[in-house]
């Protein structure tokens, strides 16, 4: 999904072949989403094996998601210039090789660099896939093709840590935590072969496309100036440069907005920001996924570092959360969104907040999988209700020409807000001496972020257009 102005579809394929293209894109997207969350559960095992400081765990996560979000800024334009099929295959090959490098990493620094490369190659791959989907489906089938993305991406988000727990327990070929990355290698090879077979050679590329290097540079600088001090600040004692860096991030964003207004080839399609549901929806996604990503990290750290549970025990404890999400996604898709409205979002966010508050009070007693299950089930059910309608709201009134661009912006915001959540809430967690008290504080902050999203929902139209 790409942040660029898309050219209109120029070719379609027979529906059977179009659905095969969609299947290849789905594989790529699921690999991306799982890799953005799977290291949550494996973080303590990685640190125990490779060493490093507390911020190492945050960097292993944010290195991927931040690099992915930033790479999305230019990848769509590059697809127009060099061909979407070609770049999809390059991205898939690079992602697979970077996954192999992660699995073979001899040290923390090597692993973080490999995670950056994994995120960058993923950002090259994903936008091309969505652009291809956009042009291979007839107009009357395009929205139907895009509907499953929200639920599938949502379920993949919660599946990552559970999959990691099982892989660490199985310890395939003695690989320990390395298997969470090495599993991408055979899947990536298969996906690359399928892409080479089924992706169309031409997909409406725009040879006149240009890169707004100034806009890209400003947005990249704004992101780096925010993420780096959030991750490293606590460990270094919050020196003056960390505050100056975060202030500089605000300045870089302001300069980016000014640059966009003057650019003949803007990074972000201007017409989308005239649509209230799109702008408000992105703000909701930012708050929602920052809370969700921070919550995932902190819960895994508490159970493994604080209570010394095994990865398998931790992953089994998360099953009620995944089950609640799966049930809610199915319910939202089958029943609640036949006439989708903001009441579904309010219901989901409200239930998620109740689940977080219940989990917060559970922290005061002895913790077992059984005691955590009801709260996790509530959180999973609540967040699952959000995954489907929020995607519909954001893209509900986008034109056919804007839908690919809007999807790209949505993915970029989701990834970057996840990186922000890990950096900010992870920093709050490690700043506390007692890990259980730290988890209580973070759960309260996550609830606040969900409540901010709840309030923003009132600004959406009553129903999806």
For the ranges 182-191, 339-348, 379-388, which has the lowest average pLDDT?
A: 339-348
165 and 233 together in one domain: no
Residue 190 confidence (pLDDT): 93
For the ranges 110-114, 145-149, 375-379, 452-456, which has the lowest average pLDDT?
A: 145-149
Residue 445 confidence (pLDDT): 95
Token digits of residue 214: 């100034």
In a domain, 207, yes or no: no
Q: What is the maximum alpha-carbon separation in the chain?
A: 63
Residue 5 confidence (pLDDT): 40
259 and 278 together in one domain: no
174 and 238 together in one domain: no
266 pLDDT exceeds 50? yes
Q: Looking at per-residue confidence, does 40 or 435 come out higher?
A: 435
CA distance linking residue 304 with residue 41, whole number of Å: 8
254 and 320 together in one domain: no
| Percentage of residues of the chain with pLDDT beyond 90 | 25
6 pLDDT exceeds 60? no
* Cα dihedral 133→134→135→139 (10° resolution): 120
3 pLDDT exceeds 50? no
245 CB contacts (<8 Å, ≥6 apart)? 225, 226, 228, 229
Query: In the chain, how many domains are there?
Result: 2
pTM over 0.95: no
- For 5, 272, 333, 395, 408, the CA distances from 399, given in Å and listed in that order, are 12, 9, 22, 8, 14
The 10s digit of each residue's pLDDT in 54-76 is 777 788 888 888 888 778 767 76
Range(s) of the domain holding residue 350 = 15-202+265-457
Tell the burial category of 185 from Cβ atoms under 10 Å away from its Cβ (0-12, 13-18, 19+): middle
In a domain, 208, yes or no: no
State the CATH number of the domain containing residue 198: 1.20.1250.20
Residue 34 confidence (pLDDT): 81
Residue 254's CB: how many other CB atoms inside 10 A?
Answer: 12
Nearest to 78 by CA among 3, 137, 133, 165: 3
Mean pLDDT across the chain? 82
The 10s digit of each residue's pLDDT in 440-464 is 999 999 999 999 999 999 998 877 6
Q: Looking at per-residue confidence, does 217 or 146 come out higher?
A: 217
Residue 339 confidence (pLDDT): 60
Q: Looking at per-residue confidence, does 154 or 277 come out higher?
A: 277
Token digits of residue 407: 């999807």
47 and 106 together in one domain: yes
Q: Tokens 């299947």 map to which residue?
A: 23
325 and 359 together in one domain: yes
pLDDT (mean) for 407-415: 75
CA distance linking residue 26 with residue 21, whole number of Å: 9
274 pLDDT exceeds 80? no
């Amino acid at each position: 999904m790409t942040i660029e102005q898309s050219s209109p579809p120029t070719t379609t394929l027979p529906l059977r072949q179009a659905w095969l293209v969609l299947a290849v894109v789905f594989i790529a997207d699921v690999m991306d989403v799982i890799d953005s969350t799977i290291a949550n559960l494996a973080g303590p095992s990685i640190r125990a094996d490779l060493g490093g400081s507390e911020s190492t765990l945050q960097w292993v996560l944010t290195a991927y998601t931040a690099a992915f979000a930033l790479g999305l800024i230019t990848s769509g334009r590059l697809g127009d210039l060099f061909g979407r099929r070609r770049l999809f295959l390059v991205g898939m090959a690079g992602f697979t090789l970077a996954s192999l490098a992660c699995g073979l990493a001899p040290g923390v620094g090597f692993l973080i660099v490999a995670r950056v490369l994994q995120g960058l190659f993923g950002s090259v791959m994903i936008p091309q896939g969505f652009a291809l989907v956009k042009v291979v489906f007839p107009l009357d089938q395009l929205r139907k093709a895009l509907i499953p993305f929200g639920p599938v991406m949502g379920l993949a988000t919660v599946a990552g840590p559970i999959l990691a727990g099982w892989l660490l327990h199985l310890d395939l070929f003695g690989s320990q935590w390395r298997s969470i990355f090495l599993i991408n290698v055979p899947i990536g090879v298969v996906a690359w072969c399928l892409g080479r077979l089924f992706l169309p050679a031409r997909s409406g590329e725009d040879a006149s496309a240009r890169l707004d290097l100034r806009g890209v540079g400003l947005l990249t600088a704004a992101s780096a100036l925010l993420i780096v001090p959030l991750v490293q600040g606590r460990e270094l004692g919050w020196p003056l440069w960390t505050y100056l860096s975060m202030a500089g991030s605000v300045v870089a964003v302001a300069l980016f907005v000014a640059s966009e207004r003057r650019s003949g080839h803007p990074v972000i399609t201007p017409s989308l920001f005239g649509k209230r549901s799109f702008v408000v929806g992105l703000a909701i996604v930012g708050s929602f996924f920052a809370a969700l990503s921070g919550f995932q990290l902190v819960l895994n750290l508490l159970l493994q570092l604080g209570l010394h549970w095994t990865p398998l025990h931790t992953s089994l404890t998360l099953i009620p959360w995944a089950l609640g999400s799966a049930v809610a996604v199915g319910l939202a898709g089958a029943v609640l969104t036949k006439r989708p409205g903001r009441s579904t979002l309010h219901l989901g966010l409200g239930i998620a907040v109740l689940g977080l508050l219940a989990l917060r009070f559970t922290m005061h007693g002895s913790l077992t999988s059984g005691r955590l299950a009801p709260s996790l089930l509530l959180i999973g059910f609540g967040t699952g209700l959000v995954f489907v309608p929020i995607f519909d709201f954001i893209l509900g009134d986008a034109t056919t020409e804007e839908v690919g661009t809007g999807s790209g912006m949505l993915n970029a915001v989701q990834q970057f807000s996840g990186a922000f959540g890990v950096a900010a809430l992870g920093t709050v967690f490690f700043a506390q001496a007692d890990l259980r008290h730290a988890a209580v504080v973070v759960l309260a902050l996550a609830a606040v972020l969900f409540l901010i999203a709840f309030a923003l929902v009132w600004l959406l139209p009553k129903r999806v257009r």
